[in-house]
Structure 1
Amino acid sequence: MIKHIYRAEIVFFGKSNLKDLISCFDFIDEFEEIPSLTSSENPIIKEKINKYNLDFIISFHAKTFILKFLINTNAKKVITRNRPISIFSLKCKCVFVSFIKRFYKNRNDEFKMLYYARKINPKLFDKEIKNLNFDIKIKTNIYNKNIINNFLDQNNIKDKNLILLNPFSISAFYTLKLVDYLRLCQEIISKFKDIYIIIPSYEAVHKDFIREFKTFFKENPQRIYIFKNDDNILNICELIKRTKCVISPSTGVIHLASNLEKSSIGLFSEKDIIFWETFNKDYVLLNKTKEELSTYDILEIINEILLKLKRYL
Structure 2
Amino acid sequence: MPQYILKRLMGTLGVMLVIAILAFFFVHMLPGDPVRMIAGEDATFQEMEILRQKLGLNLPLHQQFYLFMVNLLQLDFGTSLISGDAVYDVLSHRYVLTAKLTLVSLWFIPAGIILGVVAATHKSRFLDRACMVFSVSGISVPEFWFGLILIQVFAVKLQWFNPTGFQSLADLTLPAITVGMMGTAVIARFTRSAFLDVLSENYIQTARAKGVKRFNVTYVHALRNAMLPIITVIGLQIGFILSGSIVVEAIFGLPGLGSLLIESVVARDHPVVQTLLLLYSFHFVMINFVVDVLYTVINPQVRLK
For normalisation by structure 2, the TM-score amounts to: 0.26
Greater helix percent: which structure? 2
Greater strand percent: which structure? 1
Max Rg structure: 2
For normalisation by structure 1, the TM-score amounts to: 0.25
Q: Which has the higher contact order (CA 8 A, sep 6+)?
A: 2
